[in-house]
Every structure is written in structure tokens, then in C-alpha cells.
């Protein structure tokens, strides 16, 4: 059989892999594993160098690169040196060699929860511990759900409690923190006074300060004038034509009227003689 064109004698037959650039899955997995191992080795070598440069006697350093939960140091000292207090040495090295850290938290302490022991049987061996921190990062701590009870995470940062758990949580936090301040001096304050203050600072759905800035949203011009910066609030009331209802105690005292609370919340009528 004769062919008119010699160039048609050779034809390329496509392979079954449907793509010459695609590598076999096994080879690709091996390369990915080698790449991850190389990254781990780089991290380990960098960490090893940072640890060993602190002291000459550190010869070996092994760490948990997966979970960052532990590390092991090997230290070698000459036999001619005097005896070394290893306990103080270990405390010194561990205090300046962090194993893991969280952004926003500078330090942490573990203490026994005395309130838990008081609520339960005092003779029981059950002990609960609290992790107290300097600084806060609640979002990061929530990733450690297998260690912490997320239902009881607490911070004295009122703004953060309002952002994460809602304004009601901020309200209770405010009461708790004010009570702690007075309790440190042995002063007992009735809960109703604290709840009234906390309710006023959070009733608008946001946490606002109890000062002249937080009083800006008050509807009574006279109450704002009697608090602070009287000239400023008086000028704003005149410019905006604000109306006074004389419902607040301060506004009624300014105008010489009886406050509508306590004994002034009702009227006494004298019975007329027949």
C-alpha cells in the first residue's frame, strides 16, 4: 500500500494518563511528604539555634512540633565545675524559654479554685484549678476546648465580654467587678445598688461609661447640666431646642419641685369635714 505523504507514517498515540505533565499519585505524595519534612526540619533547626544560643551547656533540644505541648533539654557540665543547683537552673531557663505563646497574653498562673471547694464537700479530694492570665485573647483560648470549660471563660474586660458573650454578660461582669473592688476593703454593698448602676450603663444595648460622655444620651437637659460641663449642655439644649419633661430627680430639684420617688411618689389628701 503506497502512501502519498511520508510525514503521515508516524502518528502519536495518546497514553492512558491523559496528560504528560501529570505525575503518578504515589510520586506526588512522596514529594509532598519530603516537602513537609523539609519545612519541619527548618522550623526545628531554627528553634534549636534559638534555644542553644542562650547557654553553652545546652547540647540537645527536642520539642513537640505537632502540638507544642512539651520539650526536652540535654545539658552537659564539666566534672571539674562545682555542683550546680539544677532546680534553680531549670526554673531560670524555663522562665525565659517559651514553649508556646498566644498573642495578647503576657503571663499566666495556675491556682486552686477556692470557691469550688467551698461549694462542694470540704472533705472531698476533688480539686478544681483556674488559669489566670495577664492580658486576654478569648478567641484563641476557645480553640483549646479539650482543656478549658468554655462556658466559664471570664475576663474583667467589660468591652470584650459585651462583644463576645453579649450585653447581659457585660452587665453581670460589671456587677461582679464593682463588688470585688469594694470587697477588697471589706465593704458590703447591696446588690440592688450595683444592679441599678450596671443597668444604667448597659440598658442601651452597649456598654457606656458612667460619666459626662455616657450622659450625653440622657433625654433630660437639666440632669445633664447639673452633672458636669453645665455651659456646654446648656448651649446644646438651646441650639437644638430640647424639651424638659421634669421627670428626673435632678431636674425637679433644680425647679424646686418634690422628687417623684420615695415619700414624694404619692400625694396625701386631707379628708374634708362634712
Q: In the predicted model, is pLDDT for residue 9 greater than 50?
A: no
Residue 40 and residue 75 in one domain: yes
Q: Which of 6-15, 138-147, 177-186, 255-264 has the highest mean pLDDT?
A: 177-186
Residue 225 and residue 202 in one domain: no
**Which residue among 82, 115, 130 closes a domain?**
82
Is 190 domain-assigned? yes
CATH of residue 248: 1.10.150.390
Residue 112 and residue 148 in one domain: yes
Is 10 domain-assigned? no
pLDDT at 58: 81
By percentage, how much of the chain surpasses pLDDT 90?
Answer: 16
Q: Which of 42-46, 70-74, 261-265 has the lowest mean pLDDT?
A: 42-46
Q: For residue range 116-132, what is the model confidence (pLDDT) as tens digits?
A: 766 666 666 778 888 88
Is 7 domain-assigned? no
Is 14 domain-assigned? no
Is 170 domain-assigned? yes
Average pLDDT (1-16) is: 45
Q: In the predicted model, is pLDDT for residue 146 greater than 80?
A: yes
Is 202 domain-assigned? yes
Is 146 domain-assigned? yes
Q: According to the 3-state scheme, what is the secondary structure of the chain?
A: CCCCCHHHCCCCCCCCCCCCCCCCHHHHHHHHHHHHHHHHHHHHHHHHHHHHCCCCCEEEEEECCCCCCCEEEEECCCCCCCCCCHHHHHHHHHHHCCCCCCCCEEEEEEEECHHHHHHCCCCCCCCCEEEEEEECCHHHHCCCCCCCCHHHCCCCCHHHHHHHHCHHHHHHHHHHHHHHHHHCCCCCCCHHHHHHHHHHHHCCCCCCCCCCCHHHHCCCHHHHHCCCCHHHHHHHHHHHCCCCCCCCHHHHHHCCCCCCCHHHHCCCCCCCCC
**Tally of domains within the chain:** 4
Query: Does pTM top 0.75 for this prediction?
Result: no
Residue 53 and residue 73 in one domain: yes
pLDDT at 274: 66
Residue 168 and residue 141 in one domain: no
Residue 78 and residue 59 in one domain: yes
Residue 130 and residue 174 in one domain: no
pLDDT at 267: 81
Which domain covers residue 48, as residue numbers? 25-82
Q: In the predicted model, is pLDDT for residue 25 greater than 50?
A: no
Residue 169 and residue 125 in one domain: no
Is 95 domain-assigned? no
Amino acid at each position: 500500500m503506497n502512501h502519498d505523504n511520508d510525514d503521515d507514517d508516524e502518528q502519536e498515540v495518546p497514553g492512558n494518563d491523559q496528560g504528560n505533565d501529570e505525575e503518578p499519585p504515589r510520586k506526588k505524595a512522596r514529594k509532598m511528604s519530603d516537602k513537609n519534612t523539609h519545612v519541619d526540619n527548618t522550623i526545628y533547626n531554627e528553634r534549636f539555634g534559638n534555644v542553644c544560643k542562650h547557654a553553652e551547656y545546652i547540647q540537645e533540644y527536642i520539642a513537640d512540633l505537632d502540638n507544642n505541648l512539651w520539650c526536652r533539654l540535654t545539658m552537659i557540665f564539666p566534672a571539674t565545675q562545682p555542683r550546680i543547683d539544677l532546680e534553680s537552673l531549670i526554673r531560670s531557663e524555663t522562665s525565659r524559654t517559651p514553649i508556646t505563646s498566644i498573642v495578647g497574653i503576657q503571663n499566666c498562673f495556675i491556682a486552686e479554685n477556692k470557691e469550688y471547694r467551698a461549694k462542694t464537700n470540704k472533705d472531698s479530694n476533688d480539686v478544681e484549678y483556674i488559669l489566670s492570665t495577664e492580658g486576654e485573647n478569648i478567641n484563641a483560648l476557645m480553640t483549646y476546648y479539650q482543656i478549658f470549660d468554655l462556658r466559664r471563660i471570664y475576663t474583667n474586660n467589660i468591652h470584650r465580654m459585651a462583644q463576645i458573650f453579649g450585653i447581659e454578660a457585660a452587665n453581670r461582669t460589671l456587677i461582679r467587678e464593682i463588688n470585688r473592688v469594694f470587697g477588697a476593703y471589706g465593704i458590703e454593698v447591696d446588690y440592688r445598688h450595683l444592679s441599678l448602676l450596671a443597668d444604667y450603663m448597659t440598658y442601651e444595648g452597649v456598654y457606656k461609661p458612667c460619666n459626662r460622655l455616657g450622659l450625653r444620651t440622657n433625654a433630660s437637659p437639666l440632669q445633664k447640666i447639673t452633672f458636669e460641663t453645665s455651659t456646654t449642655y446648656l448651649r446644646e439644649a438651646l441650639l437644638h431646642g430640647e424639651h424638659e419633661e421634669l421627670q428626673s430627680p435632678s431636674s425637679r430639684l433644680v425647679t424646686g419641685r418634690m422628687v417623684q420617688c420615695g415619700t414624694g411618689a404619692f400625694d396625701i389628701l386631707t379628708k374634708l369635714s362634712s
